[in-house]
Amino acid sequence: MADKDENLKVRVANLIDAITYAVFIYTSRGLFERDKLIFTSQVAFLVLLMKKEINPTELDFLLRFPARPNCKSPVDFLNDLSWGGIKALADMDEFRNLDRDIEGSAKRWKKFVESECPEKEKFPQEWKNKSALQKLCMMRAFRPDRMTYATRNFVEEKLGSKYVEGRTMEFAKSWEESGIGTPIFFILSPGVDPLKDVEALGKKMGFTWDSGKFHNVSLGQGQEIVAEKALDMASEQGHWVVLQNIHLVAKWLATLDKKLEKYSEGSHEDYRVYISAEPAPTVEAHNIPQGILEASIKITNEPPTGMYANLHKALDNFDQDTLEMCARENEFKSILFNLCYFHAVVGERRKFGPQGWNRPYPFNVGDLTISCNVLFNYLEANTK
């Protein structure tokens, strides 16, 4: 919702900000973590180009990195490719004499280039006064290994922290956008179960297995007929239908596409469909019909990356009622936070595989919630 304002220009600016962020959220929740920064930076670059706040030539250098070939680096802290990039930069007016400055003050530049997080350090001499994009261009030449962090900082500076904080959207908010003609499509990842979010929301709204308003069909082994019957009943009586692993029934997907299209109009207003499928390993292996994909709200359920995102993801599993359920509230809250922090640490360690453990283990939400229950039982049962 955009902020209202009597001033027309301010109101238009607020609308543009709100619409940009809405489109960003809608698209990014269906992307994998590895692709989100690419999309976010593209949004930032296009917004800044439209506002004429960045130089297209500098942006072109950043994206293509047209390094000058056959350049021998005169300094030991930059390789030949990096020096070729610096030589190409030095041909632009804004970067004139950059190569000479590096040779003339090699000690100072060496300290900057070899620092642990150069994207957080000040550039030497007058280069610290350059624009954010110009600094990004130089970083591209100096330390390509730090570009992920530098680009994230750039987006945060230009668009705001909400574009990079990596918080997952509450399922209830995504559900509000769904409808009889708009299914929710979960793209599956190992160690994450999106069904628990659907079941939890269904329980609050009265759509449960016991009430007969919740149908969960795991496809494969002749379950297609069961799924069709569930869809027919749900569209008429206003039930929820979960269709799991639809990638396993490629031949039936055309029928599903027609069913979803047929019931997208004239069905009971409470009717909803939730679909899950694993991502295709190759482009050729894509078998989900375009009609299903275009009609759906797509949500990835990947484990988050980074300690900040992991910690928030862990904390998001507990509401205020959980925090207040124990008689010894202070001890419970403190130890629960420590559990969440530990969960975030081991979750972030996933990228190292089984190193340090006797086997790989996903450390999923189930482990964290069980730990919370054990903590509650210990505190309630023991006076000391």
**Are both 178 and 159 inside the same structural domain?**
no
Whether 33 has a pLDDT exceeding 70, the answer reads yes
Q: What pLDDT shows up at residue 164?
A: 87
Q: What pLDDT shows up at residue 168?
A: 72
**Other CB atoms within 10 A of residue 119 CB:** 19
Domain assignment of residue 276, given as a range: 171-300
Q: What pLDDT shows up at residue 226?
A: 94
In sequence order, the β-bridge partners of residue 277 are: 187
How sure is the predictor about 152, in pLDDT bands with cuts at 50, 70 and 90? very high
Q: What is the SS3 assignment for 6?
A: coil
Q: Which two tokens stand for residue 232?
A: 């027919």
Digit-coded pLDDT (tens) for 172-195: 888 999 999 999 999 988 767 788
**Are both 175 and 205 inside the same structural domain?**
yes
361 compared with 334, residue with greater pLDDT: 334
| Number of structural domains in the chain | 3
Q: What is the pTM for the complete model shown?
A: 0.76
Of 300, 335, 362, the last residue of a domain is: 300
> 190-194, 222-226, 284-288: which has the minimum mean pLDDT?
190-194
**Are both 373 and 323 inside the same structural domain?**
yes
Whether 142 has a pLDDT exceeding 90, the answer reads yes
**Are both 274 and 322 inside the same structural domain?**
no
Mean pLDDT across the stretch 362-384?
87
Q: For strand 214-218 and strand 184-187, is the pairing parallel, antiparallel, or unpaired?
A: unpaired
- Average pLDDT value over all residues in the chain: 90
Q: What pLDDT shows up at residue 1?
A: 72
φ and ψ of 270, to 5 deg: -90, -10
Give the residue among 64, 58, 62, 84 at the shortest CA–CA distance from 73.
84
Of 282, 300, 318, the last residue of a domain is: 300
Digit-coded pLDDT (tens) for 61-107: 999 999 999 889 999 999 999 999 999 999 999 999 999 999 999 99
**Are both 277 and 333 inside the same structural domain?**
no
* Cα dist from 76 to 122, 142, 207, 289, 349, whole Å: 21, 12, 66, 54, 34
Any idea what DSSP says for residue 52? T
Q: How far apart are CA 241 and CA 259, in angstroms?
A: 13
Judge whether 322 lies within some domain.
yes
Residue 363: CA atoms inside 13 Å, Cβ hemisphere, count?
23
Q: How far apart are CA 85 and CA 58, in angstroms?
A: 12
Mean pLDDT across the stretch 256-275?
94
* Cα dist from 158 to 51, 155, 164, 167, 330, whole Å: 12, 5, 11, 19, 40
